[in-house]
Amino acid sequence: MLQPGRQCSGSRPLCRGSSSQTRHKMLGRLACNALRSTSVCSTLRSSSSRGPHERWHPTQPAPASSSSSSSSSSSSSSSSSHGSGHLQLSSNARRCIAAAAAAADGSAPSGSSSSNSSGNTLVDWVVTNGGSVNGVTMANLSGSDGGSGWGLVATQAISQPGSRLIELPRACQLTYDESSDARVLSLMQQVPEELWGAKLALQLLTQRIAGPASHYATYISYLPVGVSGVPLFFPREALEAIEYPPVVEQVKKRGRWLHRFSLDVLSKLPGTAADPFDGVTVDTNSLGWALAVVTSRAFRVAGPAAPAALLPLIDMANHSFEPNCEVVPVPGGVAMVAKKQLTSKPNCEVVPVPGGVAMVAKKQIAAGEPLLLSYGRLSNDFLLMDYGFVSPDNEHDRVALRFDIELVKAAALTGGARDASGKLLELSAAAPWRQQHLAKLGLSGGGAKQNLQVLLGGPNFVEPRLLAAVRGLVATYQSEVDALTLEVLGSWDRPLNKQNETATIRILIGMAMSALQNFSTGLEQDLALLNGGSSSSSSSEAGQTQEQQQQQQQQQQQQQELTPEMRTAVLFRSQRKQLLLDVISVLAEKLKQVPRIAGLKESPVVAARKGQKPRPASKKGFGSSS
């Protein structure tokens, strides 16, 4: 599932992240993940090492490789100086990219020799192309804004919320519409709708390959060489170390699509009339780079149905959940333009001018303060997959579980759930009314409405749908469930009865515990890894053999040498565990409170046993039934 990019003001997220590292290492990893083929991996892995946050440079090859001997129009250049397995570039591609990079003098924040030293060129480019930049500059904030790489900073105090800091007319946005190259549009039609980022990636690649001829050459020279934090480029061991199937599967799916599309579609283009890439073969690596740039930076300015856009300069703003800026659409206008035939009467006409976008201040901002945007209310899954970082204490974070009745049954055992007579609960969803209940929640019955992913975390700690499902499964009688709306069943305020609520909470605890058990390590071990192996569990114990001690030392050394990707993977999974533990502790507290809930009745079974007349389930106070 790809996340839609950021939208303007208030709706979905807008931008996607970047960071960088060695391009070829990254590309090799992408291919490895996609192909799982040692030979291809080792071929692509031969790489030169580059520092983080590097940008394209005149001496640096483009992320597009020649089709080598198979391409008629892209005669292979001499092989690269980076080693025998290095990807070869067509001389055409080299020329283009070199010139594109030469169009800018900017540099990457790492301060490496190949990087731009300022963002002035990009600022100038925006202004030259009809945009405006007021009191903003690009800066390497070295993480002081909570981000990484380039950031934006206020050069003067901004006293008025709503002040336009950067304005980009349509001409400054890298996007596509019906007037774009028909060959690119035709390629885009072969991209599945949910991979919206890949469509814009194809457009980005045409501009990249066009080199200095591209209107966007300056902007492209500021794009990161690699997007290292994004798991699409993780080595296999780091990807597996994430240990969280919703992310790992999605990353693999993206990798597989990239590989297939480049092989089945893009590799066949050179030499044909359908080729928009000037004879340059766009391979998995090139497409992967473009996709990662788009998913980490693109904005969906015109809503999820319209094409995404790259917004030069604005996309240098780093993310915060408490941003001081936002991106808003600027309404279009009209312009009076001369007709082609000036001799005709009238010789002028009024034409609509499409709207642009602006980055505006949300609040007062002091001079020197970083300018930050929210990329959206994203869980760490999406921050990691699309932007390559995770946010600690992310209130939008959730852990996704797959709803499966067998897992719920196991969770009932793990959580020690009991039925109204005190016996261990034996759940069954077999009764038709239970199936209907689950189907109403989209958790059974198949069909388009089925979505088996349920979430833990967030303000309710448990997705209401899951709470409603479990309460329904635990209920003894159909009438208990039928009497209530799904909304009521999914609300913590409206427990069914004491026994049902107790068993429900125990099952939910059991689900969270089972999810924790799916990880191969505990939270403590992860924290120790992140802290360089300094946990008490890793200290030498008396009575250890020499071999054991050596092994332990080796482990500690590995811990200290966590690669950046491994570190990200371990950090991510440790946060999943922390979230699950938090959910368990809140649920345990709720469990304690059940006997104290004022007015909460006994289950009909217990009530009957105690000789009370069971009250019929009532809709009173619970809203209308659906």
The footprint of ligand SAM (CB under 6 A) covers: 15, 17-19, 53, 146-151, 224, 229, 296-297, 315-316, 318-319, 387-389
* Closest distance to ligand SAM from the beta carbon of 440 (Å): 40
- Could you tell me the end-to-end alpha-carbon distance of the chain, in angstroms, rounded to an integer? 30
Q: Residue 20 or residue 33: which is nearer to ligand SAM going by CB? A: 20
Nearer to ligand SAM, 67 or 107 (CB): 107
- Pick 4 or 270: Cβ nearer ligand SAM: 4
Q: Which is nearer to ligand SAM, 296 or 497 (CB)?
A: 296
Which whole-number Å values give the CA distances from 232 to 205, 238, 268, 388, in the listed order? Answer: 18, 10, 24, 9
To ligand SAM, the closest distance from the beta carbon of 515 in angstroms equals 26
Compute the least distance from the CB of residue 391 to ligand SAM, in Å. 6
Q: How far is CA 481 from the centre of its chain?
A: 37
What's the token pair of residue 34? 């996609």
Whether the Cβ atoms of residue 89 and residue 66 lie closer than 8 Å to each other: yes
Instruction: Between 11 and 37, name the residue whose CB sits nearer to ligand SAM.
Output: 11
Q: d(Cα 494, Cα 625) in Å, to the nearest integer? A: 14
Query: CB 152 → ligand SAM: shortest distance, Å?
Result: 8
Instruction: With beta carbons less than 8 A apart as the criterion, state whether 483 and 619 touch.
Output: yes
CB of 296 to ligand SAM, least distance (A): 4
DSSP H/E element including 62 = none
Choice between 85 and 388, CB closer to ligand SAM: 388
Contact (Cβ atoms closer than 8 angstroms) between residue 299 and residue 308: yes
Q: How far is the CB of 295 from ligand SAM (least distance, A)?
A: 9
16 vs 259 by CB, closer to ligand SAM: 16
| Position closest to ligand SAM via CB | 17
Closest contact distance (angstroms) between CB of 375 and ligand SAM is 7
Angle between helices 245-264 and 284-297 (to 10 degrees): 130
36 conformational bin, left if phi > 0, alpha if psi -120 to 50, beta if neither = left
Rounded to a whole number of angstroms, the minimum distance from the CB of residue 31 to ligand SAM is 21
Query: Quick one: which of 451, 495, 447, 445 has its CA closest to 470?
Result: 495
The nearer residue to ligand SAM, 108 or 429, going by C-beta atoms, is: 108
Instruction: For 591-624, give one letter per residue: b (16+ CB within 10 A) or e.
Output: beebeeeeeebbbbbbbeeeeeebeebeeeebee
CA distance 31 to 285: 7
For the four alpha carbons of 27, 33, 35 and 37, in that order, the dihedral sign comes to positive
Query: In DSSP terms, which residues pair with 166 in a beta bridge?
Result: 133, 359
C-beta of 278 vs 315, nearer to ligand SAM = 315
Taking the least distance from each CB to ligand SAM, the nearer of 229 and 276 is 229
Report angle CA 524, 526, 532 to the nearest 5 degrees.
100
Beta bridge partners of 350: 336
CA distance 280 to 399: 42
Q: How far is the CB of 308 from ligand SAM (least distance, A)?
A: 13
Instruction: At 519, list the tokens.
Output: 């990880």
Nearest distance from residue 124's CB to ligand SAM, in Å?
18
